[in-house]
Structure 1
Amino acid sequence: MLYFNQNLDHFTFTPKSYMTFQQRYAIDSKHWGGAKANAPILAFLGEESSLDSDLSAIGFLRDNGPRFKALLVYIEHRYYGKSMPFGSAEEALKNASTLGYLNAEQALADYAAILLHVKEKYSTKHSPIIVIGGSYGGMLAAWFRLKYPHIALGALASSAPLLYFEDIRPKVGYYYIVTNVFKKTSERCYNTIRRSWQEIDRVAATPNGLLILSKKFKTCAPLNGSFNIKDFMDSIYAEAVQYNRGPSYWVTSVCNAINANPPNRKIDLLDRISAGVVALVGNRSCYDTNMFAQPTNNNIAWRWQSCSEIVMPIGYDKQDTMFPTSPFNMTSFIDGCESYYGVPPRPHWITTYFGIQDVKLILRRFGSNIIFSNGLSDPYSVGGVLEDISDTLVAMMTKNGSHCQDIGLKSKGDPEWLVMQREEEINIIDSWISTYQKDLQILKS
């Protein structure tokens, strides 16, 4: 692990902006072809996670580094992992005054500074850089290519919901995909889940109803209301769909448990729903209904980002039929964020700064060398770029793909469509690098 002395604020020239913090990154030069050959650099742009988890989960660079003879660079996002300004996570995540330096624009500038530092360190002025990211990191990769084309030759933006903002809302939302994947997996399972919400509310309204629910779902803490268990189940179903992939295929596991008829035991509707929880997260002595929203440093940092500029209008619309209807309400969202942080979100800033309205019209003549990859079984794919914009702005879709599946680690059990998708991505990136190397030779001669 390496550390870079990073500026706190890249965009102002006040005394405080010259404060610095230690930003973590890692380099793997094992297969690099060297500066003389202008061998490429593959750079992973960190998302709302620690560098440690990225290094263990992201396989695209490691799997393809030898083929490209590439230098591999992994960069941790500011305010995540150990890349904390102000000396500690406690201080950095304290309030809006310190969190105010956590945004996508500052993160992109961080990446630019580190990548230029790496090129200088390895004396490799003409090595082309391909940036790679997934989910929010995929958004960063695409934006980086558009904002810093002099640094990045191209970008692979995996499962990047670039079009999931207020000004450009998708026709259907996140929970439409969650609903459809469950329904296609098992109509019976889908109907059981659909009926369960009303049953949870019915039981909760009875005398000692919350205690009954707490015992049935083996919650670690007493329930304050039916919302606790419904929010928990929402997260279970969303998680199962978002990361539904082999060898376990979580949605199938959840539905098999919900549909099962155990011998010698009569089970009711909520027993079935509880069995789905066990299938996904395992048999435990108790279940923390906040397990998907623990106040970890990463979650605290992401809550700020989603309450400031990464405002995605995700709600439960009429077509999301597995869930009770509850559309996203921007007014309520803004009020909630402002009451929590003392500052309101800027829901239109991302589309203003990055200009992703009319993406096909604008990028056709402006952008180049970006792969937008999406699995159509990923709920975030509804906000992805799903059509080719030009010959070099390519949308790559797979019917059964889940969230960021293409940039994960390769395994022998990978389905053929995933192997083919990755091969196509590699070939496109290889063509960018080949064209660049030819241009470089022409300009040098």
Structure 2
Amino acid sequence: MAVLTYVSSSLLKYVLVVVLCLCGSGDARFKGFRRFMDRSETTQRAAKAGPEVQDHWFTQRLDHFNGVDTRVWKQRYFINDSFYRPGGPVFLMIGGEGPANPAWMQYGTWLTYAEKLGGLCFLLEHRFYGKSHPTEDLSTSNLRFLSSRQALADLAHFRTVVAEGRGLSSSRWVAFGGSYPGSLAAWFRLKYPHLVHAAIATSAPIHATVNFPEYLEVVWRSLASYSPECPLLVKQASDTLSQMLKNPLTYSNITKDFQLCSPLQLDSFMDSAHFLEALAGNFMDVVQYNEDNRAFEGVVGTNITISVLCGVMADESLGGVYERYAAVARLLLRTFSQRCLDARYSAYLQDMTNTSWSGPGAAGGRQWVYQTCTEFGFYQSTDSPNQPFTGFPLPYHLQQCSDVYNVSVDVAAAVQDTNEQYGGYGLRAARVAFPNGSIDPWSALGVTQDLDQQLPAIFIKGTAHCANMYPARAEDLPQLALARDHVYLLLQQWLKE
């Protein structure tokens, strides 16, 4: 395992502070993977200017596993052939749980590799996300065609047809992805080794699990790496607020302090859990992407880091820990230009049960939660004493499966099936690299130690989710630069095998 820990004294302070990511989402109330990025078309148009990237369309089967079903649909993809040299490799970036961002066809570490190696680059948008609409709506009956297995079959069919059409059948294909697409990259290599030669699976959670309280445990450690007092202050604030929610006489003050869109009203356990999770999400999101370089995608809020949040929590001039917790919430609202926080579970359900492609959940929320219910779990619950939040245990997350999709789902059986399909931590393949950042809560479900010589881990101290995928910059930690170099050396080696 490559554990990159070099730290110069001048950079020590940066180590001590801790949806394409093909890491992403666009819904402010998005569940599952944290808000990787704003995936909306508006935000993508605001991304760093560059040559316009043209949409291309590929004909896919709706159901790859039913020979009787002949229905097809159009899947969006992008191309960058500016670095291609005949005989060079083909890089296939895998889209995730949001619109594929064309900014990745202009910026990103994978393009640096393509330039050095003469690679041809494709980005394939994931079915049911972005503009890739296989069905007329997002009804539960249609979402049965949304799964990682169907997505892998999409990749296989795309690779086969494009290779035949462009004379690339003998080329070495390499899959790239970050987060869930990173898992897909590893699984693509696992399931279709005759089609893809190698894979770079960044920040990939390869083990499915129903309950994932370890996510919040990493959040605790990441906050503590900036200041040992920080997670303690956050825990005190969360506990204080949880106690206040038991007294309706406090609701008017809470409404004002947290800048809620409507007077706080808690009619059920789901209402309080949703509110508490929304506030915890302010810290969870920042930790996951602490000090990253997503600005090229048009992402807002990259200036809000762990040091900023811990600074607010330590500021006694703001009042007690409750007042500081509220100050963090207001800071995030201002950062994202939101007038107020709509923390109503009923409003969340209204958005998530809208099955239209123009509905608010269609940005990725309705689709991804469906995948968590039917494949992955990944529920970031408070069911651990070693984390800073309270109030949203596993039953809260499981209840959403039936509330949103109006069906009974055996999530535990679905998760077991996923691990049986792909192997979980016992994945056995070759030529798959697993970069992960120590700050990233998702590293708890990833590969942080070599599985074997052909399945190396690249564990990057002090970095967050998908950090090695973003464009390099002068202020990057030296171990992050080394990690990018390590991936390049692996690609050089593997493309010769």
TM-score > 0.5 by shorter chain: yes
The structure-2 alpha-carbon separation of the partners of 1:317 and 1:65, relative to structure 1 and needing over 3 Å to count, comes to: same
* Residue pairs, 1:47-196, within 5 angstroms: 47-52=96-101, 55=104, 59-86=108-135, 88=136, 91=137, 93-95=138-140, 97-165=141-209, 173-196=214-237
Q: Distance in 1 between matches of 2:433 and 2:161?
A: 26
**Alpha-carbon distance, 1:209 to partner:** 1.7
* Residue pairs, 1:419-434, within 5 angstroms: 419-434=481-496
Q: Is the 8 A contact 1:63 1:410 kept in 2?
A: no
Stretches of structure 1 lacking an aligned partner (at least 5 in a row): 436-445
By relative contact order (CA 8 Å, sep 6+), the higher-ranking structure is: 2
Match of 1:320 among 376, 380, 386: 386
Q: Which residue of 1 aligns with 2:49?
A: none
Q: Which residue of 1 aligns with 2:48?
A: none
**Alpha-carbon distance, 1:303 to partner:** 1.1
The structure-2 alpha-carbon separation of the partners of 1:407 and 1:398, relative to structure 1 and needing over 3 Å to count, comes to: same
Q: Is the 8 A contact 1:372 1:393 kept in 2?
A: yes
* Residue pairs, 1:19-418, within 5 angstroms: 19-34=71-86, 38-52=87-101, 55=104, 59-86=108-135, 88=136, 91=137, 93-95=138-140, 97-165=141-209, 173-225=214-266, 226-246=272-292, 248=303, 250-262=305-317, 267-282=319-334, 286-289=339-342, 295-297=360-362, 298-324=364-390, 328=394, 336-338=400-402, 340-344=405-409, 345=411, 346-356=414-424, 358-359=426-427, 363=428, 367-418=429-480
The structure-2 alpha-carbon separation of the partners of 1:224 and 1:147, relative to structure 1 and needing over 3 Å to count, comes to: same
Q: Distance in 1 between matches of 2:143 and 2:171?
A: 35
* Bigger mean CA deviation after superposition, 238-247 or 393-402: 238-247
The structure-2 alpha-carbon separation of the partners of 1:396 and 1:290, relative to structure 1 and needing over 3 Å to count, comes to: farther
The structure-2 alpha-carbon separation of the partners of 1:63 and 1:357, relative to structure 1 and needing over 3 Å to count, comes to: closer
**Alpha-carbon distance, 1:189 to partner:** 2.7
Q: Is the 8 A contact 2:401 2:407 kept in 1?
A: yes
**Alpha-carbon distance, 1:246 to partner:** 5.0
Q: Distance in 2 between matches of 1:357 and 1:270?
A: 40
Q: Distance in 1 between matches of 2:368 and 2:109?
A: 24
Can you list the C-alpha shifts for 1:157-207, whole angstroms capped at 9, x where unaligned?
0111112425xx88x711110011112212333222111123213433445
Work out the number of aligned pairs and report it: 411
Q: What is the Cα-based RMSD across aligned positions, in Å?
A: 2.5
Q: Distance in 1 between matches of 2:195 and 2:62?
A: 21
Q: Is the 8 A contact 2:258 2:341 kept in 1?
A: no
**Alpha-carbon distance, 1:58 to partner:** 6.4
* Bigger mean CA deviation after superposition, 118-127 or 380-389: 118-127
TM-score (norm 2): 0.77
* Bigger mean CA deviation after superposition, 185-194 or 149-158: 185-194
Q: Distance in 1 between matches of 2:120 and 2:344?
A: 37
The structure-2 alpha-carbon separation of the partners of 1:289 and 1:237, relative to structure 1 and needing over 3 Å to count, comes to: farther
What code does the residue aligned with 1:410 have?
A
**Alpha-carbon distance, 1:234 to partner:** 1.3
Can you list the C-alpha shifts for 1:40-73, whole angstroms capped at 9, x where unaligned?
0111011101112663796122232211110000
What code does the residue aligned with 2:157 have?
A
Q: Is the 8 A contact 2:274 2:392 kept in 1?
A: no
Q: Distance in 2 between matches of 1:419 and 1:273?
A: 35
**Alpha-carbon distance, 1:289 to partner:** 4.2
Q: Is the 8 A contact 1:132 1:155 kept in 2?
A: yes
Q: Distance in 2 between matches of 1:58 and 1:354?
A: 31
Can you list the C-alpha shifts for 1:9-61, whole angstroms capped at 9, x where unaligned?
001122xx211111000111111002xxx210111011101112663796122
What code does the residue aligned with 1:5 have?
T
Q: Is the 8 A contact 2:425 2:447 kept in 1?
A: no
The structure-2 alpha-carbon separation of the partners of 1:109 and 1:370, relative to structure 1 and needing over 3 Å to count, comes to: same
- Identity fraction in percent: 26
TM-score (norm 1): 0.85
Q: Distance in 1 between matches of 2:407 and 2:292?
A: 44
* Bigger mean CA deviation after superposition, 421-430 or 316-325: 316-325
Q: Is the 8 A contact 1:32 1:39 kept in 2?
A: yes
Can you list the C-alpha shifts for 1:294-323, whole angstroms capped at 9, x where unaligned?
643111110111111122253223342312
Q: Is the 8 A contact 1:33 1:70 kept in 2?
A: yes
**Alpha-carbon distance, 1:287 to partner:** 2.7
What code does the residue aligned with 1:286 have?
R
Match of 1:5 among 32, 53, 59: 59
SS at match of 2:146: coil
Q: Is the 8 A contact 2:174 2:197 kept in 1?
A: yes
**Alpha-carbon distance, 1:424 to partner:** 0.4
The structure-2 alpha-carbon separation of the partners of 1:259 and 1:53, relative to structure 1 and needing over 3 Å to count, comes to: farther
* Bigger mean CA deviation after superposition, 53-62 or 66-75: 53-62
Q: Distance in 2 between matches of 1:56 and 1:73?
A: 8
Q: Is the 8 A contact 1:250 1:280 kept in 2?
A: no
What code does the residue aligned with 1:41 have?
V
The structure-2 alpha-carbon separation of the partners of 1:205 and 1:318, relative to structure 1 and needing over 3 Å to count, comes to: closer
